[in-house]
Amino acid sequence: MKKIEILKLESLSRAPMLVEGYLFEGSDPEAPSVAVVGAMEGATTLPLYSASKLVDFLRNKLGTGKILGDILVIPSVNHYALNINERFWPLDKTDINMMFPGYGLGETTQRIAHKLFEAIQGYDYGIVLETRSDLATCLPYVKLYKTGYEDIESARRLGLRIIHHREPESIETVSLQYNWQLWGSKACSVICPHQPLIDPESARVILDSLINFLNNSGIIRYETFNGYDSTVVTRERIEVVQSPHSGIFIPTKKPGMTVSKDETIGKIVHALEGEVVHRFLAPCDGMITCTYMHSLIFENAVAYRIAKIH
């Protein structure tokens, strides 16, 4: 393994930010290669943790001679945000994942995106570890944009329960996954739950999915347990449950749980008077894919998304 410098950025008052990648060179020139990009934002640590555990696995657990194709892991692109629990770039609050393909002469986060994008070119596969952009936590799943270049079969090799296969919004045309696909890598995103503390179960699922991917793609040789035969879900299959009242939100079902129509899945308690003002009932049979992630909820906010069972 060797560490390579992806970018270095000076600051007026902070120590310079050095972004590094961990490159594991494969022994088989015919084997495919992959790059994995971890935390581009702060305020949630699962992308960071999952990428760093992958480095640990490849470096300390896998054993010699088992890496066939090149693997580049970049655990963090945004140390400055992670270290102060900011979500976006701390000065101007811009989202690095909205700056691709980047611009070397542009603004700071465009330059960061540009250098990152240069470093990850030419890999056969690309995996972005990210979190949802809305106020929701979720089960770990694959987000795969319909670009005409996407590859569902390689996304299946992660072995996660769900692949959300959908058209990108216009704003998502400047995301890493979208541009990575357009530049010739089979890229997808693993969406990580948005949790302030590491949930060992979710972390295990994500790391296992990355190892599954490497093994199933012929990039490493490793005897592991099979993941799921992923279900491909389109937008039409997602049922949105909005909150008819504001108050204190108490979900009783978590992402990843299957539910039956009319089953109670949570409640809202009046924030000042304590009484239950609403009980959420599942509108359909299905699996909860994500829930609102704060205790205080606005009226009409999206409380749950449920993947319907046909």
Report the interface residues with another protein, using CB under 8 A: 9-12, 87-88, 91-93, 98, 105-111, 133-136, 169-171, 173-174, 240, 242, 245-248, 271-272, 294, 296-302
By C-beta, is 66 or 87 nearer to another protein?
87
Choice between 70 and 150, CB closer to another protein: 150
Q: Please, which residue, 231 or 242, has the CB nearer to another protein? A: 242
With H, G, I as helix, E, B as strand and everything else as coil, classify residue 138: strand
At its nearest, how many Å lie between another protein and the CB of residue 178? 10
> By C-alpha distance, which of 97, 207, 229, 224 is closest to 163?
229
Nearest approach, Cβ of residue 129 and another protein (Å): 19
Beta pairing class for 162-166 and 141-145: parallel
Shortest separation between residue 67's beta carbon and another protein, angstroms:
35
In the complex, what is the shortest distance from the CB of residue 260 to another protein, in angstroms, rounded to a whole number?
A: 22
Q: Which is nearer to another protein, 54 or 303 (CB)?
A: 303
Closest CB 77 distance from another protein, rounded Å = 14
- Residue number with CB closer to another protein (28 or 134): 134
Listing DSSP states for 171-212 in one string gives GGGGSHHHHHHHTT-EEEEEEEP--SS--HHHHHHHHHHHHH
Q: Which residues sit opposite 290 in a β-bridge?
A: 138, 305
3-state secondary structure of 250: strand
Residue with smaller CB distance to another protein, 10 or 223: 10
CA distance 294 to 297: 7
Helices and strands per DSSP (H, E), number in the chain: 6, 18
Q: Which is nearer to another protein, 66 or 239 (CB)?
A: 239
Q: What strand order describes the sheet that includes 247-251?
A: 276-281, 264-269, 247-251, 296-297
Please, what is the minimum distance in Å from the beta carbon of residue 300 to another protein? Answer: 5
Is the omega angle on the peptide bond into residue 47 within 30 degrees of 0, that is, cis? no
Taking the C-alpha atoms of residue 163 and residue 190, their distance in angstroms, rounded to an integer, is 9
Compute the distance between CA of residue 189 and CA of residue 125 in angstroms, rounded to an integer.
11
- Shortest distance (Å) from residue 123 CB to another protein: 25
How many Cβ atoms are within 10 Å of 30's Cβ, its own excluded? 8
Residue 146 Cβ vs another protein, minimum distance, rounded to whole Å: 15
Nearer to another protein, 104 or 122 (CB): 104
For residue 23, give the 3-state DSSP assignment. strand
Q: Which two tokens stand for residue 238?
A: 């997602």
